[in-house]
Amino acid sequence: MNKNDFCKRPPMGWNSYDYFDTTVTEKDVRENAEYIAANLKEYGWEYVVIDIEWYSYDAGTQQPRYQYIPFGRSEMDEYGRLLPCPERFPSSIGGKGFAPLAEYIHSLGLKFGIHIMRGIPRLAAHLHMPILGSTQSANEVAEPNNTCFWNPDMYGLRPNEPGSQEYYNSIFALYAEWGVDFIKCDDICRMDNPSAKEEIRMLHNAIENCGRPIVLSLSPGPAIPTQAWWYEEYANMWRITDDLWDTWELVHAMFERCEVWQNHVSEGCFPDCDMLPFGRLGKGFGHEWNCRLTKEEQKTLMALWCIFRSPLMLGACPVLLDEDTLSLLTNRRLIAMQQEGFGAKQRERDASGALWISENSVTGSCYVACFNFREETAERSLKLKKLFPGRSFTEATDIFPDNTQSVGETLSVTMGAHGPAVYELR
């Protein structure tokens, strides 16, 4: 089993976090999965991912003081493995875990993913719980000073301690049994803690050991550029930014991140720009709102994510999607650029804007994406020969709104305030 073989193209799907935070329930997941199957699946959207603290009983009840309640009550089996909270995921009652829900997601033609925190539950360590497949117990593998600075649930594992790999094996065996296709592991990607690097390899090993092709996604960013080779060796996607929300400043900051990571995109290896904070957001955080990015800014975000080939994980509430957002998510040319692109390269970036190019590995057409960082409309004339030495084009298709025109040596583009111009060249 080669992790690059079962994730050749950047994953697409939906993640519950941006709308539900820690509060998503089985009912929410089913409803939104059904919507996705009906409306988005045909464009490539396939993963349904339940984000953080699905094991918690009281998650979300102490907002805004605590996003994650210290010393809160969690569902856990006798081996210190977290289970879905049965009050929130009724189909898990009777020790079934996520198996029934995964089965339903699969029945819709979709794939099923869950979020985990790096490490082992703190309470398991304090109670000296046994580890399945090891004679060591939780207190022996947990590091008491290896904690996540923003979530209180876990202790990190000691990398070279007998029992540590076995603990990860034991949870992945369970996930494989349940039918999980995608794991987003948190508190690991930016290596805040010295053991995180080795824990990434342990997760990879646990996937190989469980035998099921589970996509491994690492959070939160920013990933460490000088560790690029490690992510490429052991993970399928890794966040290159801290949480991205719906502000222009955060979208704009991604251009620098993509510049840094542009040479690290390949089959099975996808630097991740984070979820798309579109549509309705924030219900689980206690204050619901509509995406604050302008339409042009949303197009800029999608254009950058797609030419760079970031995974596309929708952060909205799918059943509440508006028409405009839906049409952005179902732009087939954009998605083809993301799914079939290669060789994406930033050619310019300064205070006024940026320029990226790439190529379609299936059709051979080329892409040019121009971005306008200013708050007013901008025009540019692009010299295609300089950008694509050795290539010549006769047609240019504006991806927004999908108009084709003839083209010679120069392409003139117009961009709205904070907006993009993206063309496919043939």
Q: List the one residue from 61, 263, 352, 403 that touches a second copy (CB under 8 A).
A: 263
When asked if residue 262 is in the footprint of a second copy (CB under 8 A), the reply is yes
If the CB atoms of residues 81 and 257 are measured against a second copy, the closer one turns out to be 257
- Cis peptide bond upstream of 222, omega within 30: yes
Exactly one of 144, 162, 211, 408 binds a second copy (CB under 8 A); which one? 144
By beta-carbon proximity to a second copy, the closer residue of 1 and 38 is 1
Residues 122/198, Cβ–Cβ less than 8 Å: no
Tell the smallest beta-carbon distance from residue 252 to a second copy (Å). Answer: 17
Could you tell me if residue 365 is left (phi over 0), alpha (psi between -120 and 50 degrees) or otherwise beta?
beta
The residue (of 48 and 228) whose beta carbon lies closer to a second copy is 228
Pick one of 8, 27, 128, 292: the residue that binds a second copy (CB under 8 A).
128
- 130 is a contact residue toward a second copy (CB under 8 A): no
**In whole angstroms, how close is the CB of 347 to a second copy at the nearest point?**
7
Candidates 149, 160, 323, 376: give the one binding a second copy (CB under 8 A): 149
Tell me how far, at minimum, the Cβ of 70 lies from a second copy, in Å: 4
Which member of 77, 259, 267, 398 binds a second copy (CB under 8 A)? Answer: 259
Shortest gap between Cβ of 376 and a second copy (angstroms)? 23
Q: Which helix (H) or strand (E) holds 237?
A: strand 237-239
Q: Which stretch binds a second copy (CB under 8 A): 20-28, 41-49, 136-144, 330-338?
A: 136-144
Binding-residue pattern over the window 197 to 226 for a second copy, x denoting contact by CB under 8 A: ----------------------------xx
Q: How far apart, in whole angstroms, are the C-alpha atoms of residue 273 and residue 230?
A: 18
Contact between 229 and a second copy by CB under 8 A: the answer reads yes
Residue 228 or 276 with smaller CB distance to a second copy: 228
The 318-347 site mask, x for binding a second copy (CB under 8 A), equals ---------------------------xxx
**By C-beta, is 106 or 345 nearer to a second copy?**
345
Q: Is 385 in the site for a second copy (CB under 8 A)?
A: no
For a second copy, the binding residues in 93-122 under the rule CB under 8 A are 122
Q: Per CB under 8 A, does 289 bind a second copy?
A: no
Tokens of residue 214, six digits: 């589970």
CB of 423 to a second copy, least distance (A): 21
125 contacts a second copy (rule: CB under 8 A): yes
Note the residues at the interface with a second copy (CB under 8 A).
Answer: 2, 70-71, 122-123, 125-126, 128, 139, 142-145, 147-150, 152, 225-226, 228-229, 233, 259-260, 262-264, 345-347, 389
